[in-house]
Chain A
């Protein structure tokens, strides 16, 4: 059994969690070209290393962010999304999230 540490509920069996995809910056839907939108929808960072992901603790419907190494499966850190996005305010700059961001023209 693998344990994931939920910021709200503490360490729990990973079977209680649902994976929600990588944290990605959403382009403005009104401004984005089809290609930019396609990249947002279909592409993820594919490097081997630490990735930042959305996870949900299903019994409490609580979404949080985990930083996980995608080869060793080691979870380095989990935290509330407010740390990244601020308390209800507009998203903070996520430029540092894109070490391998695809060139979109």
Chain B
């Protein structure tokens, strides 16, 4: 008999004897045993598609927390200090930087040669590593020695929706599975009563492309990302309907199970056993879900560390929730925070708008690192911070001067198990247009993320339409410089 099957049956039987008031379940089970329908060597396998699976090689981390800064944060106002750019502020951009390049919003450039834009933000060096960080991120500056930066990330598309899809699926076209789906497909999840891939959202609006960013495409639907909310029902339909107390819900689920058991005895389809266990997990989720999002059980000191307020919907709450999720064995947590798209319009300027989003995210990001670390979770978690692209070293004239989308060099940071902290991989030219050392492609980031989980990105494949597909398409190299 298959091991999974044995476990499932044993679990179900325990459940029967402990909770079933009525004899029918036992009768059904007895008849199954007597007929040998479930136990023959020929019975098809009963497997939980989310059961933990062995990695390709020993993993460095168990879980990933991906902080997706939607819109494209300006690396030049946060991390990339470029004195030369300051010096040439307002000067026309040298033609050599523009030739052969395409940018979004070409029409705003068409009027005259775009001018270089220095940052008004003050930079200083922090930590032993001496990483330069702008005044916008005081909290993060305090933990730079726990982070590893990559300042030369490049990507393939300069429009939001396709660029987000690219980060998430390795293709700018819809129809490929997302990172989190690949990971749970490859590894399953450690949590028995929570989904393997959870998505959280904060900010004024959701990410462009919506659900397609965490879809499973041609992978089994079990692996799609499940949105959690930090207020109300954390998962859609998690609460029982009015009048259905926990007890009544339990009675209902037991009745469903007994009737499913009876039918299983008739038709013998193992799929029915899978459904029985799905209902049991759903019932457990109804308890574990509310418990999960109830931040009031956290110490005040912890809440203060993040700036979290129980019941609120914020990036701070989501960061704390992310820690609670990985603590409970959830494999992949992705947080979206909008909106970093600072073109220079009245509401998306590099002034107050950038100030505000930095205030919303700076403290929680730093708190997440500190909190994971002090709980001994940082070693088994990979934290990733980044957007779908960065922003141009030249200004874009709108209501104010902002920055356009830039795909040739932007910054991401990493922390956690197997990451060599306190370093910056990659060097950009003195104006910050492109890499001069260690050009890192988004496929390299994806390959590295999988690598830390013990997955070889060239081997994590799924056959579809006659071809083996993978997250990194046909590219990707693990960034060994980034790793211990």
Co-complex (A, B): no
B interface residues (Cβ-Cβ under 8 A, vs A): none
A interface residues (Cβ-Cβ under 8 A, vs B): none
